[in-house]
Each structure stands twice: as structure tokens, then as C-alpha cells.
Amino acid sequence: MATKVFMEALSPTMEEGRLVKWLKNEGDAVKSGDVLAEVETDKAVMELAARGAGVLRKRLVNEGEAVPVGTLVGVIASAGEDISALVGAPKTGDGRSKTEDAGSKMEDGRSKAPAAPAPAPAAPPSSISPSSIAVPPSSRSLSSPLAKRLASESGLDLASVAGSGPGGRIIKRDIEAALATGSAGGDRPSSSIFHPTSSIDFEDLPLSLIRKTIARRLAESIGPIPTFYLTAEFDLERASEMRAAMAAMGDDYKVSFNDIILKATATALAQHPEVNAHWLGDHIRLHHRVHLGMAVATDDGLIVPVIFDADKKRMSEIAIESKMLAKKARERKLTPAEYTGSTFSVSNLGMMQIEQFTAIINPPECGILAIGAIEDKPVVAADGSTQIRKRLRVTMSCDHRAIDGAVGARFLQTLRRMIENPLMLVY
Amino acid sequence: MPLITYRDALNQALREEMHKDDRVFLMGEEVGVYNGAYKVSKGLLEEFGEMRVVDTPITELGFAGVGVGAAMVGLRPIVEFMTWNFALLALDQVVNAAAKMLYMSGGQFNMPIVFRGPNGAALQLSAQHSQSWESWLAHIPGLKVVAPGTPYDAKGLLKSAIRDDNPVIVLEGEMLYNIKGEVPDEEYLIPLGKAELKREGDHCSIITSGKMVLVAMQAADQLAKEGIKIDVVDLRTIRPMDVDAITTSVKKTNRAVVLEEGWEICGIGAQIVDYIQRDCFDHLDAPVIRVHQADTPMPYAKALERAAKPDLPKTIAAVKKVMYIEA
């Protein structure tokens, strides 16, 4: 029962891997889970683990060689097992010398006429169907039908369970272990957020689907994304004047500070495609259209609906659209098309009197702007006098893989010009 | 309870049924004067005379056809094939006549006939005399197929087969005739179509029949020493198959090894796995593994024959595989 060792997709975008170093020699005993080799993916050097036990009989790829995902790189089998069918015909030299040996051993001395290459051996007859054992490389998480059913019956999220079967398959014992250690909520999620429990020391909140998605997405973000932060304080006196002047013209012209910030951000992004970008693992995509995500808090958690082509929309359109999206978000009526496809995002906690904060990037976006509260602050003016002015602190989180400090800073300079001189927005 | 051989259990079944019903008669090659190639019919010629224990020429198609005709006119023939390998010659009568007579006569003719003989490999009888035909025979609508694995089952199933009004195939085994087991003195029958749970355990099911029942029991014994408890489901009847017994066991253990004597492709095991995937999909914790004969004509060489046959080590390895236990 040989186990084929494949080059596995060790990152979601990996198409080939370079075998950096073999950690096991041919002939070494291995057990399932042992690290066989180090493999350089498109992102990092990862470990290639054994999916079966036995002896590493054959290494089929040399150190330093790059091969596509799915390539057979080695064979694990028991010591005496015939693996010739798995590793292909023996090299010419070996084959010939074996044939000659066989010929010379023939007792009647008849030379074997022009040593015709032996036909490739058919798959060795096995009484146990190998097809049920082979483990194809797959990035999909595997689980037995029984494990799936048990998980669903106990309200366990399979994503939170580590599989101990072949190829990482989640099987019954893994579900039982997870339930025994209480690593995941045992109750089915209900519509109520709070579960009254008899304990006064704690209460358990089930994870809503959106909360799970937030956890997964944000963990994805804070983990691999090398983020740095740029904070700037903008003067909002003129924006405030503009807003008051518009409101004076009637309710139809009322815009919020948030609408002004969204419009300014979108306009600035159109001038800075280097921050209006997606990090896609092996390349950066600069977007020519500005689809602005706006974070909205709901009872369930955060969701980021998108104002598409925000730079091309008038402030009044943005005002109407952002209001509509926020309402739909709170009512949980957003369609997937309305909350996917953003190229850059804005998160505003100003209305909750947060002076400044840092927001977590929503990948594959490369930046997000955190908007603080607008506050009256004493400011030293150019003439040395002290004035009380409306001020706003914004902090931009930048994915350093795509955005360098100066690039982010230049974007914030543009944004400052827009917000501090709101007439720029109609320029 | 007396301990008797599988051979004697069959002999008892024949004798009892011939006493009970004078329409029952036995025919085949060397069943009379020679007492049967494997002595299953020992003493029957003496006891019942040559009208009811008939030595035939070496003409499988011919005497199978005589049997079919006899059954049509009201007798209850038992046709012995020296082995099922020779019965290939008679398959036209078995498949085209016996299996279809009730259907094609619009219900006018019952076909109370038994075709019996040893099936599968013995030792070094080579490619033409070592074949397991259960999947061929069980493939045919109109036939019933039984494969007893113990003396007790052999007697009870053969008696039921003789009393059944349909053609019943009884698959015996050369390597089984000498095995001993407890068989009660009092009369009993084993219903056709009912499996038996020969061993209870909740870790893994082994589903099997005929000669492989012994292997499954040995595997269960050995695995028990390692704390692995096996449900051994002995089908006893291959057609009609006791699907409930299979699925009940698999739903309990969540794992199954299907052990059969014959070849892999289109084997009985394939059908069993199909029942399992249909009825037990959400209960499976591992893919079902089949243990079977290697996909080659049976080799004559001793070592190769051993390598080709399903056996105890292969069965144990398969159980460990479905239990995710690394060897």
C-alpha cells in the first residue's frame, strides 16, 4: 500500500513549488505527518508532510528543482514493496544491467537474443483496491460523511476541527475530541444573541455566520499582512462651513461629514491608483475605478457595503447611496453584489467619539482609512495666534507589500487638500 | 451438540430431504457408485437406489437439462456439479432455462431444482479449476444463490434450498468439506435471504460469505487481541441479499471491509459497497475497502497462488486501513 508524495498546493495561489531541501533520505522510515521536505512556494518556505507511513523509498525531485503542483515527488511504501509501477520504468542503465544478469544466469548458456526491453509491468496485482487509499493533493478540507453529519448535529464548525485521517481528513474521532475539549460551541446558533446560562461567571455567545466570516477574514488580514499606520490631523473648518451653507439651502442639500469624507477619499483615490489596489499574492492590481467600501456596524457585526465608482458620483448621490446601504446593512438585506468588489475602504467611528483608531485591512485591498471624531481643538495658526478649530484625525492602514510609507503619505496629502479645501471636490 | 464435518452436514441434509419427499433425487458425475467426488453423497445410493441417486455421463449441459425437465414435470432434482468450474458448460440450462422458466411460462412451471457443488479455489488447481462464480450466478434474476461457510449453515441452507420452488445455487467449497462444526441432531432450517451476525463488535464490519467466513472469523479473533472489535456479517445467501443486515452493521461501526473470494471487477463486493454507499453514506467514517482475489487467472505456483488469494493478513491490513491504524 504505497503512498505517493505529491507536490502539494501549500498556498492558495501556489502553482509550482521548489524543493528546497529533502529532510528524509531514501530508506528512512517515515510516519504520517513527518516533514519530508522543505518547499518554497510563491509566498514562503513551507513543510511538505508525509500522508502515509512506511519507508521513503524514492525521491523523484532533486533539491533546488521546481515542479508544478500535483507532480509526484516521492514514494512512501513498505520496505519490500514493488514500487516500479509508481516511479516509472527504471533508468536505462539499470534496466540493461538487470537484463544481462538474468541472461547470464541461464544455465543452458543460450544468450538471450537482443535484450528486448521487458514490457512495463502492469500494476502489481493487489488484493486490496488501491483506489480507495490514494490521497490526491487537495486544498479542500476533507471530512468523512459521518464526521460531517456529527458536526452538523452538534453544531460544530468543521473549519474549527483539525483532521487526523489521511490527507487531513476529519473523521469521527476528531469530532469527538473537539466536542470533548469544547473547542467549539456545542449549541446550535439561535436567533437570540444572548444565551442565558446558569453560570454567572460567563456566558457563551454563539457565532453568527457573519461573525465567523469577520473572524476568518480579519485573522487572514492581521496575520500575513505587514501593516503600517499613517495618522494625520485635518482641519475641517471649511468643510464645516460648506456643510452649513448647503444645509441652509434646504434639506435637499444636506450632506454629512461622512459624505464629504467619502467623496474626498474617492476623488483622491482616483488620483492615486497605487493605493487603490489589490494585493493578489503574485501581483498587485491597480484599479482604475474607485469602488469605495464603507464599514457599517450592525447588530451582528461589521459589514462593508460598496459605493461603486464613488469618484464619479456627486456628493448628493453618495449621500443618498451611503444612507441606503447603511440601512440595508442594518436590516441584513444587502446582496453579495453590494458588499463585494471594493478597492479601498473607509471606517468611521467618529460618531462614537473615538478620537483616532486603526482599522484592519480588508484583503485583498491594500489600505483602509480610519476616521475619528471631529473635535474642536486649539490650534496654533500661521500667524502664531491660537484658534479653536474643527479638527479630524484619520489613520490609514497600509499593506506594506504594496504601499510604501511615502506612497501612503502622498495620498493623505491629496486627501488633506481635498478635505481642507472642499471646493477641490467640484474642480 | 455433535461436531460433524461440512461434508457430513450436507450428506445429512440430502438424506433427510430424500426421506421426507420421494420426489427429491440426486444426479451428477460419480454421485452414486463412487459416493461423490468429495464423498458428499456417501451411502445414498445404497439407501435410496439408482432411481434416486443417478450417475450421469460427463455431460454437464445434458444432465442439467434433464434436471430442468424433471423439475418441470413435478420432481425435485438436486444436480451436483463436480465443481462449478465444470458447470460453465451447463450455464445455458441454468441461466436460460431454470432461471427463466417460471417467468416465461407465465407462472405455469415452478422450477424446484438445486444446483450444487464446490466453488472457488482449493490448492494449486491452477487457473481453470480455481474460480469463484458467485457474481456470475447472482447476476441472474430468477436464481437464488447461497454460500454456506459452516457445517451448520450448510445443512440448514441446503434443506431450505431443496424445499424452495425456485432454482437455488448452492456454492460449497473443497476446502470447506473437512471443517467441523456443531450441528444439532434435531431438524432445523435456515431461511434463504437471511444473513447472520457471526461476531459482534462495534469498531468495524467485515461483510463476507462462504469460504471467507472462516477468514473473517480468524481476523476478528486476531484483531480482538489488539482491542479491535469486529462485526462479522455472514451473508449466507448472496441472492437475495440481506441488505438490512449489512446496513445495520455499518451504521453501527461506521466502517466496512468487504471480503470475497472472487475477482474484484463486478464482484459481489462491488454490489455490497453500492448498498453501503446508498444507505449508509452519512454513517461512513472511512472509504469501504474490498479484499478479493488478485485480478489475474489463478496462478499454479504455490507462492503466487497465496499472493493472489484473499487471506487473513490482507483482511487484517484492510481493517486497519479503514480504521486509520498505521501498520
Q: What is the ipTM of this complex?
A: 0.75
Q: What are phi and psi of A57, to 5 degrees?
A: -85, -35
Q: How confident is the model at residue A208 (pLDDT cuts 50, 70, 90)?
A: low
Q: In this model, does residue A101 exceed pLDDT 50?
A: no
Measured over the CA atoms of residue B208, residue B211, residue B217 and residue B222, the dihedral's sign is negative
CA distance A174 to A305: 37
Q: Nearest CA to A347 among A320, A330, A370?
A: A370
Taking residues B238-267, report their average pLDDT: 97
Chain pair A-B, CB pairs under 8 angstroms: 67
| Strands annotated E in B47-186 | 53-55, 76-80, 114-118, 144-146, 168-172, 180-182
Measured over the CA atoms of residue B159, residue B163, residue B164 and residue B165, the dihedral's sign is positive
Chain segment B204-218, per-residue pLDDT in tens: 999 999 999 999 999
pLDDT of residue B129: 96
Q: What are phi and psi of A411, to 5 degrees?
A: -60, -45
For A133, the closest of B294, B307, B321 (CB atoms) is B321
Q: In this model, does residue A105 exceed pLDDT 60?
A: no
Q: Nearest CA to B94 among B27, B154, B30, B140?
A: B140
For B287, the closest of A1, A31, A132 (CB atoms) is A132
Are A82 and A67 contacting, i.e. CB atoms less than 8 angstroms apart?
Answer: no
Residues of A with Cβ-Cβ distance to B284 under 8 angstroms = 144-146
CATH of domain B3-182: 3.40.50.970
CA distance A395 to A410: 14
Taking residues B83-110, report their average pLDDT: 97
Residues of B with Cβ-Cβ distance to A171 under 8 angstroms = 285-286, 324
CA distance A335 to A327: 13
Chain segment A210-224, per-residue pLDDT in tens: 766 776 776 677 677
Q: Angle at Cα B27 formed by Cα B25 and Cα B28, nearest 5°?
A: 165
Chain segment B291-327, per-residue pLDDT in tens: 999 999 999 999 999 999 999 999 999 999 999 997 6
End-to-end C-alpha distance for chain B, whole angstroms? 40
Q: Angle at Cα B160 formed by Cα B209 and Cα B162, nearest 5°?
A: 110
For chain B, domain boundaries: 3-182, 196-322
Residues of B with Cβ-Cβ distance to A146 under 8 angstroms = 254, 282-285
- What structural domains and CATH numbers belong to chain A? 1-87 (2.40.50.100), 150-207 (no CATH), 226-426 (3.30.559.10)
Q: Nearest CA to B319 among A200, A372, B310?
A: B310
pLDDT of residue A87: 78
Chain segment A69-80, per-residue pLDDT in tens: 888 999 999 888
**Is A400 annotated in the active site?**
yes
Q: In this model, does residue A199 exceed pLDDT 80?
A: no
Q: Which residues are A77's β-sheet partners?
A: A55
Q: Give the residue ranges of DSSP H helices in A8-132.
A: 84-87, 92-105
Cβ of B294 within 8 Å of Cβ of A126? The answer is yes
pLDDT of residue A425: 83
Q: In sequence order, what are the residues at sequence separation of 6 or more whose Cβ sits closer than 8 angstroms to the Cβ of residue B208?
A: B149, B215, B216, B232, B233, B234, B235, B258, B259, B260
Residues of B with Cβ-Cβ distance to A145 under 8 angstroms = 281-285
Specify the range with the lowest mean pLDDT, choosing from A127-131, A276-280, A285-289, B83-87: A127-131
Rank A73-87, A223-237, A249-263, B184-198 by mean pLDDT and report only the highest.
Answer: B184-198
Cα-based distances in Å from A144 to A133, A137, A155, B201, B263: 14, 16, 16, 21, 28
pTM exceeds cut of 0.80: no
Chain segment A348-368, per-residue pLDDT in tens: 999 899 999 999 998 889 999
pLDDT of residue A202: 55
Average pLDDT, chain B: 97
CATH of domain B196-322: 3.40.50.920
pLDDT of residue A211: 66
CA distance A279 to B40: 80
For an interface test with A, give the residue of B250, B251, B282 to mutate (most A CBs within 10 A). Answer: B282
For an interface test with B, give the residue of A128, A142, A158 to mutate (most B CBs within 10 A). Answer: A128
Q: In this model, does residue A122 exceed pLDDT 60?
A: no
Q: Give B174 to chain A, closest Cα distance, Å.
A: 22
